[in-house]
Amino acid sequence: MGRLQRRTCDNCGHSFTPIKSWQRFCAPSCYRESCQIVKRFLRDCDGCGQQFATNKAVQRFCEPSCRQRRERESYRSLNPPLGLPSGTVGAISELLVAVDLMRRGLHVFRCLSPHGPCDLAVLSNGTLKKVEVTTGSRSRSGKLFTPSKSPKHDFDVLAIVERNTSVIHYQPPLTD
């Protein structure tokens, strides 16, 4: 293998003889210096209002914590606290679903154990289905969010009660 030809450093412009054929910089310090990102845009943070420099034209927040704080505020404005303990909110949601299912002509049974395998049991045409009830909320884009259910929950139907409107969504959808 022959000696490599001299070339110009991509960072400082000095002439050097590379050790490897793919080498583009004369020294590790030139490589590190070339990796420094030039901050080309000066922005006002949409979260805290402070000015920050960035290399991304679309970046709106100076730090992830500012973005998270802004998202939390937005969520709370769309989904204000109900002023009730979460267990009470859950119990209300279960009762709303039970009433809806009974209006559909189904026989509904509620689990008395707080750690039962499902929240409701529904008997329809001789078939028993397990129903898990959860409370959901909407994002700014209108997407319905729910807490994730752990794999230990075994259910046939998931009933999602919207926090502010009490609209009930069934997954899979119920057929009357």
pLDDT in tens, 21-45: 899 999 998 888 887 766 678 889 9
Predicted TM-score (pTM) of this structure: 0.60
Q: What integer pLDDT is reported at residue 1 of this predicted model?
A: 53
User: Is pLDDT of 82 > 80?
Assistant: no
Q: Where do the domains of the chain lie?
A: 1-36, 40-78, 86-171
Q: Which of 68, 104, 82 is closest to 163 using CA atoms? A: 82
Phi, psi of 2 (to 5 degrees): -85, 170
CATH 3.30.1280.10, applies to 86-171: no
Distance CA 153, CA 10 (A): 59
User: Is 69 within 8 Å of 91 (Cβ atoms)?
Assistant: no
3-class DSSP assignment, residue 170: strand
Q: How confident is the model at residue 151 (pLDDT cuts 50, 70, 90)?
A: low
User: Is pLDDT of 96 > 90?
Assistant: yes
User: Is pLDDT of 143 > 90?
Assistant: no
Q: Would you put residue 49 in left (φ > 0), alpha (ψ -120 to 50) or beta?
A: left
